[in-house]
A and B are shown apart, each in its own frame.
Chain A
């Protein structure tokens, strides 16, 4: 079955740039989405279509997709950005969707 691979954790100091990667064989053909989930809450979409930002999401969140790797970048990370981040995409057929294992972002 198709898998997306993320690092388990990323840690940065406030104001630094955080980068979270997501690798998958179908990413050259399929869009990546990124979700932020804080403890006890439902996920929130922060990036869609590889690099588009929904309304209400701060400009410090950006996304890119190059080859088999998608990247979520948080420029000038804030303490409030501490959360689990999940990438999401589909296999090459488009019929099966999958989340990455999630990355815990620590900002301290």
Chain B
């Protein structure tokens, strides 16, 4: 069974940093590209970042480019999102998602981790 479990969320002050993790199991993690997607309270889904299976291709939304860094450790079956210079508008539930093979669309999602940026 495919499982994705996010962790690392919490309360952080504006300008602070946080590192999210996503632990993957039930599939060959190294063969799939992965994503981070977020959802602000009461708002819609927003794509944040994507990384290819071998980390060759990395993409970011304009809203986070230069502040967030996506990475993965295939040996540990883990996906990460380093978030720096956090702003109030980064407050959201962050989901990690596994892409369909040879695709840019996620087919499985974790349950999300809440990041709150507030003083």
- Contact in complex: A95, B103 (CB < 8 Å): no
- Find the A residue at minimum CB distance from B57: A95
- Contact in complex: A35, B110 (CB < 8 Å): no
Give the interface residue-count category, chain A: 20 to 34
- Contact in complex: B105, A101 (CB < 8 Å): no
- Contact in complex: B105, A43 (CB < 8 Å): no
The one of A44, A49, A101 that contacts B44, using a Cβ cutoff of 8 Å: A101
Q: With the chains together, A102 CA to B110 CA distance in Å?
A: 20
Q: Does A75 contact B (CB under 8 A)?
A: no
- Find the A residue at minimum CB distance from B50: A97
Q: Does A69 contact B (CB under 8 A)?
A: no
The one of B47, B50, B59 that contacts A99, using a Cβ cutoff of 8 Å: B47
Secondary structure dominating the interface of B: strand
Q: Does B61 contact A (CB under 8 A)?
A: yes
The one of B45, B109, B111 that contacts A102, using a Cβ cutoff of 8 Å: B45
Contact with A along B100-111 (1 / 0, CB 8 A): 100111111111
With contacts A42-B95, A45-B105, A90-B104 known, is A96 near B61, CB below 8 A? yes
A26 CB to nearest chain B CB (Å): 12
- Contact in complex: A98, B105 (CB < 8 Å): no
The B25-70 residues at the A interface (CB cut-off 8 A) are 35, 37, 44-47, 50, 59, 61-62
A16 CB to nearest chain B CB (Å): 25
- Contact in complex: B104, A49 (CB < 8 Å): no
- Find the B residue at minimum CB distance from A34: B105
- Find the A residue at minimum CB distance from B112: A42
> Which residues in B have their C-beta under 8 angstroms from that of A42?
95, 109-112
A residues contacting B by CB (< 8 A) are: 1, 31, 33, 35, 37, 42-45, 48-49, 54, 84, 86, 88, 90, 94-102
Could you list 6 further interchain pairs (A-B, Cβ under 8 angstroms) beyond the known A33-B105, A42-B112, A99-B45?
A: A42-B109, A88-B45, A97-B104, A98-B47, A99-B37, A102-B45
